[in-house]
Amino acid sequence: MSRYHGAVPSPFLRVLLLQLALFVAGPLLSSARVGAVLADAGVCLMLAFAYQASDCRPATKRVAWAVAFVLFAAYAGAAWGRVDTAGLVATLLSVVFVAGAGIVVLRTVLRSTRVDRAEVYGAVCFYLMLGIWWATAYAFFDRLDLQPAAFSRDLISAGEPYPAGGGAFGELLYFSYVTLTTVGYGDLVPTHPITRNLAVFEAITGQLYIAILLARLVSLRTGNNPQR
């Protein structure tokens, strides 16, 4: 990642700013169908930018743009066409696409031999992508007709029967970050063995990532400090 050093802004900063913008604007946009489509477009753009910011091959970056376009088309078709199958396919494709973006970002960060703003931005981007990936995985199983259901929303629905076909992605993103940071409010609860196991793995991953990566960054920083 030496090409990012100096006065040139890190490409990961663009990804991080887009992530933060989506977190702020997402709940406001998702209340309307057009807004939800715009939020989906922002997510696809953010993932494509993540591939561009990494050190993966140029061919992979071009494929990432193509996949981002296909993913957005699938989400738009699901939103406007009301086709359950399109939404399921789009969610499954998101699981794979987000995983790939996270892998190339983490690989780029781990290949660095020194610590500066680029590595910090990349590390934060990957941490936020962890929450997004688990949220897409939860959304996939939430769309399935599982018995018992993937999640219990008794507190959210005030005891009323929750609509079939899964809930809003924002709810699952909220649950994902609550789990990743091991806060656990309990208003949204995984009730199927699959989603329970996913939640456990996410909580463990969140803690291990912070501990291991922080130790690595500190080690690189002190090792490259000429005064030490």
Q: How does DSSP assign 1-17, residue by residue?
A: -GGG-SSSPPHHHHHHH
Q: Count the alpha carbons within 13 Å of 11 in the hemisphere toward its beta carbon.
A: 17
Spatial contact of 1 and 55, defined as CB atoms under 8 Å apart:
yes
**What gap in Å lies between CA 168 and CA 220, rounded to an integer?**
41
Q: What is the CA radius of gyration of the chain?
A: 19
Question: Which has the closest alpha carbon to 39: 96, 98, 79, 88?
Answer: 79
**What's the pLDDT score for residue 9?**
61
Q: Count the alpha carbons within 13 Å of 99 in the hemisphere toward its beta carbon.
A: 9
**What's the pLDDT score for residue 136?**
93
**What's the pLDDT score for residue 152?**
86
Structure pTM? Answer: 0.85
**What's the pLDDT score for residue 186?**
82
Spatial contact of 176 and 131, defined as CB atoms under 8 Å apart:
yes
**What's the pLDDT score for residue 157?**
55
Residue type, 14: R
**What's the pLDDT score for residue 165?**
45
**What's the pLDDT score for residue 132?**
93
Residue ranges per structural domain of the chain: 9-223
Question: Which has the closest alpha carbon to 16: 113, 92, 118?
Answer: 118
User: Both tokens of residue 75?
Assistant: 């989400």
Collapsed DSSP state (helix, strand, coil) of residue 189: strand
Averages of pLDDT over each 10 residues, the chain, 228 residues: 52 91 80 77 93 92 94 83 73 93 92 81 92 93 88 66 57 92 88 95 93 79 58
**What's the pLDDT score for residue 224?**
61
